[in-house]
Every structure is written in structure tokens, then in C-alpha cells.
Amino acid sequence: MLKPVGTAGTLFAFFLDVLRALFRRPFQLREFIQQSWFIASVTIIPTALVAIPFGAVIALQVGGLIKQFGAQSFTGSASVLAVIQQAGPIATALLIAGAGGSAIAADLGSRKIREELDAMMVLGIDPIQRLVVPRVLAAMMVAFFLNGLVSVVGVGGGYVFNVILQDGTPGAYLASFTALAQLPDLYVGLVKAVIFGLIAAIVACYKGMNAGGGPKGVGDAVNESVVITFLLLFVVNFVLSTIYLQLVPPKGG
């Protein structure tokens, strides 16, 4: 019955190990660049494609609601808030976990069952410092930039749908950006994206490095890593949003 608690504990211990290895030299720059490029290459296009409908749906929904209140001129502001604070980091994290994390878990898992990780440890090299740290940093960096991409594409998609489908005025959409939204909204979005990238990479590496029982074990590890990441993301997102809303007063108020 206490097994999930134990798993959570070892996952956290793994996180601390990674944190410690982060400061150990030499830093694996090559691996970091390779992994960053790899994660970026598997996530950029899906992220952009997800961001367009995301922004559009928010624009349609919010636009429809706001029209009933007779405050159409604030549509732009509301959709910017929603995209930057919530949709951006979540969409980023889902793709980092789904595309990048699953690839990381599969890669490390297959290395584990081929005893490559054991061989590395026997050769006196710590796989956490060598393989995990560059991957975690790469996922965090790519998440940071992807979040920017989602924000731009999402807001752009919202603009197109609001102006073309809902007969909103282009000027009002743009002008109302700063009516409700403020700079800390952007910061919290970026911080969230980086934290989500960290969680996705840590879980993927942990699951991959603890894969066992042959090829099926690797499949299971990938599956579990994606599911666990998603669960954690939504919980953490809720906590971060609550803290943010408590700490930073909304602009309108």
C-alpha cells in the first residue's frame, strides 16, 4: 500500500542527485547541444500546430461569452491572459513530455537493458552527470523557447479567429492587450514552462534509467513516464497558479 509513497520518494531522491550532479564539472556541452537540438526538432512543429487551435478555441469561447456582457473590446485582453498564463506552458509541457520525454525514456531505457548504463558506471562515469543533466537542461531550455512560440502563435491564432470569424475590430483586439494583462503574467508563464520542462525530463530520465525486464520494460517505462508527467503537470500547474494569483494582484482590480 505504501509503494506509491516509496516511488515518489525515490523520484525525489533522483531529482536531488541530478541537482547535485548539475554542478559537477566537466559540463557535457556537446551532449547538451545535441539533446537540445533533438528535443526542439521533435517538438517545434507539433507545438505550433497545437497552439493555433488552442488560441482559436480560447478566442471563440471568451469572445462569445464576453459579447454577452457587451465588453467585446476586451476580447484581446482576455485571450492574451489565458494563452500566456495557462495555455502556453501547458501546451509546451504536454509536447515536451509527449514527444521529448517519451524519446528520452525510450533512449535511456534501451541503454539500461543493454547494460550500457552499467558499463558506464563501471568505467567510472556517472550516467546522471553524463546523460541526465544535459537532457534535463535541454528540456528546460527548449520549454522556455517553445513557450514563447506557443504564446505568439496562440495569440496570433486568436486574433485571426476573433477578427475574421467574430467580426471583432483588429484595433480593439490589439489595444486591449494591456488592459488586463501585465508583465508578471508573461514571467509566470515562462517560469511555469521551465518548471514543466524540468519535471518532464526528470520523470522521463528516472523511468528510463529504472526500466527493467527486457524490451517490454522499456515500453512500460515510456508509457509510465508520459502518464506520470501529465498527472504531475496538472497538479503543479494548479499549485503555481494559485500561488501566483495570491501574490500578484490582478491589474484590473
Partner 1 sequence: MGVEIKVDNLTKSFGKSLIWADVSLTIPAGEICVMLGPSGTGKSVFLKTLIGLLKPDTGSIVIEGTDIASCSEKDLYEIRKLFGVLFQDGAMFGSMNLYDNIAFPLREHTKKSESQIREIVLEKMDLVGLLGTEDKLPGEISGGMRKRAGIARGLVLDPEIVLFDEPDSGLDPVRTSFLNQLIVDLNAQIDATFLIVTHDINTARTVPDNIGLLYHKHLAMFGPREMLLSSEEPVVRQFLNAQRVGPIGMSEEKDADELEAEKDQDLPPLPPIPMQLEPSSGIPRRSQREPGGWCRDNGVTPPPGSFEANMSMTTKV
Residues at the site binding partner 1, with contacts judged by CB under 8 A: 110-111, 114-116, 118-126
Q: What is the DSSP string of 90-128?
A: HHHHHHIIIIIIHHHHHHHHHHHHTTHHHHHHHTT--HI
Q: Which is nearer to partner 1, 37 or 238 (CB)?
A: 37
Q: Round to whole Å and give the CA distance between 111 and 41.
A: 22
Q: Which is nearer to partner 1, 16 or 122 (CB)?
A: 122
Least distance to partner 1, CB of residue 115, Å: 4
Q: Which is nearer to partner 1, 118 or 167 (CB)?
A: 118
Least distance to partner 1, CB of residue 155, Å: 40
Tally Cβ neighbours within 10 Å of residue 166: 16
Q: Which is nearer to partner 1, 21 or 179 (CB)?
A: 21
- Distance (Å) of CA 197 to CA 25, 56, 166, 167, 233: 23, 24, 35, 37, 10
Q: Round to whole Å and give the CA distance between 34 and 100.
A: 13
Least distance to partner 1, CB of residue 240, Å: 33
Least distance to partner 1, CB of residue 116, Å: 5
